[in-house]
Amino acid sequence: QKEVEQNSGPLSVPEGAIASLNCTYSDRVSQSFFWYRQYSGKSPELIMSIYSNGDKEDGRFTAQLNKASQYVSLLIRDSQPSDSATYLCAVSLNNAGGTSYGKLTFGQGTILTVHP
């Protein structure tokens, strides 16, 4: 089992629709969760972080975390063609000392295409 798994995609949605991206993780001690957006040929760009169970909203983006189910998701409302990119879910795993020192474990990414 992979440590972090994302819905395989690619995901195609029409402009204006809601895009739903999902991620599950295997390590229950994971404490920090991130969504990165990566345009083709570019580096990952942080768009959302979430640390507590529930929803976190930032503009058109909503991250949802359920630690009991080991599940984190990203919703993009009113999707725009400029949202077309690969979305990476990343998890920060605590070591025995309680700090992750910058280690993120990434999923394989989900390619999102928003068509006009």
Partner 1 sequence: DAGVTQSPTHLIKTRGQQVTLRCSPISGHKSVSWYQQVLGQGPQFIFQYYEKEERGRGNFPDRFSARQFPNYSSELNVNALLLGDSALYLCASSLAGSGNTIYFGEGSWLTVV
d(CA 108, CA 73): 14
State yes or no: cis peptide before 10, omega within 30 of 0: yes
Residue with tokens 């990165």: 36
Note the Cα 32 to chain centre separation in Å.
11
90-109: which residues touch partner 1 (CB under 8 A)? Answer: 90, 92, 94-95, 98-109
Which string of x and - marks every residue 22-41 that binds partner 1 (by CB under 8 A)? ---------xx-x-x-----
- Compute CA distances 36 → 54, 59, 97, 116, whole Å: 19, 15, 26, 23
The nearest distance, CB 94 to partner 1, in angstroms, is 6
Is 113 an interacting residue with respect to partner 1 (CB under 8 A)? no
The nearest distance, CB 31 to partner 1, in angstroms, is 6
- Of 7, 49, 70, 113, the one binding partner 1 (CB under 8 A) is 49
d(CA 53, CA 21): 17
Q: Contact region for partner 1 (CB under 8 A) — 10-18, 45-53, 55-63, 70-78?
A: 45-53
| Residues within the interface to partner 1 (CB under 8 A) | 4, 31-32, 34, 36, 42-46, 49, 51, 88, 90, 92, 94-95, 98-109
